[in-house]
């Protein structure tokens, strides 16, 4: 994936996947099509580290990583003081929950949901320095159980959309 000379997008992401490359590419293409800059689609920790000097708002991990050394990118970004927020974009199950606890990945999103919902999810969880001036920043912490409720509600909404608009 080519990198643009200057990042003017309100959101910039780095996608890392060493297993679901076709899905990761489709995600990158979709995010680009809606105006989110994709700094790179990396297949390893070393490759991803080459882009860590860029402004990265989200580090998206597409599917679980078969080479667990690649999860080290999260710790490396943190040790460099980079504000990137890690998001596991995967089919959520106990394995993914375990990886999120082990590697301190704060956000998870069910990848079988529509991509437009993922874009909304990113906007809702964007770092505070990206909040728009007319938005009120809430001082409320999200409880761990709330993310499961959000996923449940988004699945119900997707079901209702399909059911009501057939």
pLDDT over 50 (residue 6): no
Which residues, in sequence order, are bridge partners of residue 141? none
Domains located in the chain, CATH noted: 12-164 (3.40.50.2300)
**Which of the four pLDDT bands, split at 50, 70 and 90, describes residue 155?**
confident
Instruction: State residue 128's pLDDT score.
Output: 65
Tell me the per-residue pLDDT of 38-78, one tens digit each, with 9 for 90 and over: 999 999 999 998 887 778 899 999 998 999 999 999 988 88
The chain-wide mean pLDDT, for the chain, equals 81
Tell me the per-residue pLDDT of 107-137, one tens digit each, with 9 for 90 and over: 999 999 999 999 999 999 887 655 554 444 4
Percent of the chain's residues with pLDDT above 90 = 52
Instruction: State residue 147's pLDDT score.
Output: 65
């Amino acid at each position: 994936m080519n990198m643009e000379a200057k990042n003017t997008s309100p959101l910039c992401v780095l996608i890392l996947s060493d297993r679901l490359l076709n899905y990761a590419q489709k995600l990158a293409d979709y995010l680009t099509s809606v105006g989110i800059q994709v700094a790179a689609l990396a297949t390893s920790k070393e490759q991803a580290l080459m882009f860590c000097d860029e402004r990265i708002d989200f580090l998206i991990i597409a599917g679980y990583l078969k080479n667990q050394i690649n999860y080290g990118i999260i710790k490396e970004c943190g040790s460099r003081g980079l504000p990137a927020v890690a998001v596991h974009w995967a089919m959520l199950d106990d394995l993914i929950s375990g990886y999120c606890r082990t590697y301190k990945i704060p956000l998870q999103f069910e990848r079988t949901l529509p991509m437009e919902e993922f874009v909304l999810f990113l906007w809702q969880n964007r770092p505070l320095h990206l909040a728009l001036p007319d938005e009120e920043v809430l001082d409320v912490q999200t409880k761990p159980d709330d993310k499961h409720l959000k996923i449940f509600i988004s699945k119900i909404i997707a079901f209702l959309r399909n059911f009501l608009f057939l």
